[in-house]
């Protein structure tokens, strides 16, 4: 019988990869790095600059929501994400312990796949506190990561794209927060985890409660 995999969801930078790596290194979980796998499959067209993290190269390739060709790149990214997520779920049938380190855009995947994630695994939402959202916007502008906007970006009359970005970004995060929470079995404050590190055993105890 397969062991219930852990599925970590939440916004970029909240700690999903940090905890997935610790589970792999300290407790032998098989980690599925969805961001990394998508980047690897796009490596033929996305080459990091010297010293640049692959995820930032991917963000540079994706561009801003008003960039020419953005919609096509967004669709290509989501198609790859769907494939990578399905493959991760399929791999969880081998009876070992798995942790799926999802991207921030997992909630844009088809409902049937999200239902499968929730029925097969234990979905843990690492919540980003509202106080951190301005810092997230600054970080996104300084070192863009791939962001799927869907229908969340639109300029008001007379509004330049750069002027619309903070307003639309705030709406995007609020919408995502609701979607993550609806998908999750367990919600944990990511900032509290960071401030009071419970260790791997404490983390597992919290998500099993």
Q: What is the CATH number of the domain that holds 152?
A: 3.40.50.300
Give the per-residue pLDDT at 82.
97
pLDDT score for 136: 78
* 11: in domain: yes
What pLDDT was estimated at residue 1?
39
In a domain, 60, yes or no: yes
Give me the number of domains the chain comprises. Answer: 1
User: Where is 31: in which H helix or E strand?
Assistant: strand 30-33
Quickly list H helices, the chain: 16-27, 34-41, 54-62, 70-91, 111-120, 133-142, 161-183, 190-195, 199-208
* Beta strands 122-127 and 6-9, pairing class: parallel
Quick one: pLDDT at residue 58?
A: 85
Report yes or no: 73 and 62 within 8 Å, Cβ to Cβ. Answer: yes
Is 1 a domain residue?
no
Question: What is the extent of the structural domain holding 55?
Answer: 6-208
Q: With respect to residue 73, please indicate whether it lies within any of the assigned structural domains.
A: yes
Averaged pLDDT, groups of 10, the chain, 209 residues long = 83 90 96 92 84 83 92 94 96 94 95 96 90 77 82 92 90 92 94 88 89
DSSP letter, residue 4: P
């Amino acid at each position: 019988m397969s062991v219930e995999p852990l599925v970590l969801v939440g916004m970029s930078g909240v700690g999903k990869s940090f905890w997935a790596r610790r589970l792999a290194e300290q407790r032998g979980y098989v980690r599925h790095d969805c961001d990394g796998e998508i980047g690897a499959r796009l490596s033929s067209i996305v080459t990091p600059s010297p010293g640049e993290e692959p995820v930032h190269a991917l963000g540079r390739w994706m561009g801003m929501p008003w960039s020419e060709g953005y919609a096509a790149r967004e669709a290509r990214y989501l198609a790859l994400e769907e494939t990578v997520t399905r493959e991760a779920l399929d791999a969880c049938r081998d009876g070992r312990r798995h942790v799926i380190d999802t991207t921030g855009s997992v909630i844009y995947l088809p409902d049937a796949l999200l239902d499968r994630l929730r029925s097969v695994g234990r979905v843990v939402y690492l919540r980003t506190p509202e106080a951190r959202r301005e810092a997230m916007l600054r970080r996104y502008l300084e070192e863009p990561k791939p962001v799927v906007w869907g229908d969340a970006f639109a300029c008001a009359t007379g509004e330049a794209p750069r002027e619309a970005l903070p307003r639309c970004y705030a709406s995007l995060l609020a919408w995502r927060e609701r979607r993550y929470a609806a998908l999750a079995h367990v919600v944990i404050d990511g900032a509290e985890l960071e401030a009071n590190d419970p260790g791997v055993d404490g983390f597992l105890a919290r998500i099993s409660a």
